[in-house]
Amino acid sequence: MTENAWTRWPSREALGRAGTPRPRRLLAWTIRLVVLALLLWAAFTHKHVGVWGALAAAAAVVLAALVSWAFFRTTYAHRLASSLALLAVLLGIAVAAQATGFQGPALVIWCGCGISALERLPLGAALPVTSVALASYSAFNNDVWLTTAATVAGMALAGYVLRLDAEARGSAQRLLAQERAARAAEAESAALAERTRIAREIHDVLAHSLSAQLVHLEAARLLIERGAEREQILERVVAARGMARDGLAETRQALSALRGDLTPLEDFLDQLVSAADGADVTVTGERKPLSAEASQAVRRVAQEALTNVRKHAHGAQVHLRLDYGEHQVTLDVRDSGGRPGDLTAAGGGYGLLGMRERAELLGGSLDAGPCEEGFVVTLKVPV
């Protein structure tokens, strides 16, 4: 054994009652009460003492019970000096009982001290105490030496087995506490991730919709201040209303996505291009199920790419290609180039940076840049 093994206390989980089955606790308390009752009975039925002697013996039994309880408390608190002092008191009570003719109670106290020391003290302190207690038991026991030796060995083995059993129970309690802490941390992490996803969805939808409405409303205000014609002002107001309607629809889609109620990705892309002038979509590869996060990433990137086309390349032809590969799905949005649109100053919903962050969170990638004719955005996410 290492030096640490000699000085190490049993863990508090091992010395406590947590994790002990209820039937076992009831059995332990039953044994303690039976032993206490037998000791009190021996004190009052002893033939060689009078009434006052019997009362003194009963008081000694009660004192031994209180000292034993205190010993269990001090060992749980890992207080070595106090624990050894209490054991010394118990051994002294046993010596006094033996000297006054109460041999049975003395033997019981010696056995209890020997077993409890091995179970609850560091081995370096338990072995001397156990040796003294069991040696006292051997010296005053009236059985033949072979029976006494077997009894002493059995009690020493019982104390050590109880120690190992308590340590195993303590280890199980620590593992259970660690598992509960890990589950709590995992639940907290999942809640934080869900909050982040909700915040990202709300930002992606509302930032784009509200910024576009703001541009149209600001333009309407300027037109009013300049005394523009009613038709020009109405055109801007109608455009802002359309942006509000689109934002409301996108918000509903985002809420459906958060609940897991997503329409098929292909249907969503068809609806998206049907609402945009000069856009078409092609789907290739064998259809594969996507996670809600991956499906939502494809939808958001497609939306943002089409919005960027409307902002920066008004009138351009746009082709979307969704390809289901063996290990990933690829979305390619390519435009033919065009003139800046009315929403150039509106800002992006979350722009290329937001699209790239969304892809990287899923273990994918996003590339965006000019091509031969216009601009191309390519998203890849794992299946």
The separation between CA 15 and the C-alpha centre of its own chain, rounded to angstroms, equals 26
Q: What is the pLDDT of residue 345?
A: 45
- Phi then psi for residue 332, to 5 deg, are -120, 120
Q: pLDDT value at position 204? A: 67
* pTM reported for the whole predicted model: 0.49
What is the number of other CB atoms lying within 10 angstroms of the CB of residue 138? 15
Tokens of 260: 């897991």
The answer to whether 93 and 60 are in contact (CB under 8 A) is yes
- Give the Cα separation of 167 and 233 in Å (integer): 82
Question: What are the sequence ranges of the domains in the chain?
Answer: 3-142, 263-383
Instruction: At 54, list the tokens.
Output: 């019997």
Written as tens digits, the pLDDT of the chain (383 aa) is 444 778 888 888 777 776 666 776 677 767 777 776 776 676 656 656 566 666 776 787 788 889 888 998 898 888 999 999 999 998 898 888 888 877 778 888 888 888 888 888 898 888 999 999 888 888 888 778 888 889 889 888 988 888 888 888 888 888 888 888 888 888 888 777 767 767 776 776 676 677 778 877 888 888 888 888 888 888 888 888 877 887 777 777 666 666 666 678 888 888 888 877 778 999 998 888 888 778 888 888 888 888 788 777 777 889 999 999 888 999 999 888 766 655 444 444 456 777 788 788 888 999 888 877 788 899 999 88
CATH says 263-383 is which class?
A: alpha beta
57-82: b or e for each residue (b if 16 or more CB lie within 10 Å)? Answer: bbebbeebbebbeebeebbbebeeee
pLDDT of residue 337: 73
What residues does 95 pair with on adjacent strands? none
**Strand 279-285, strand 318-324: pairing:** parallel
In the chain, what is the straight-line distance between the N-terminal and C-terminal CA atoms, in Å? 54
pLDDT at 208: 66
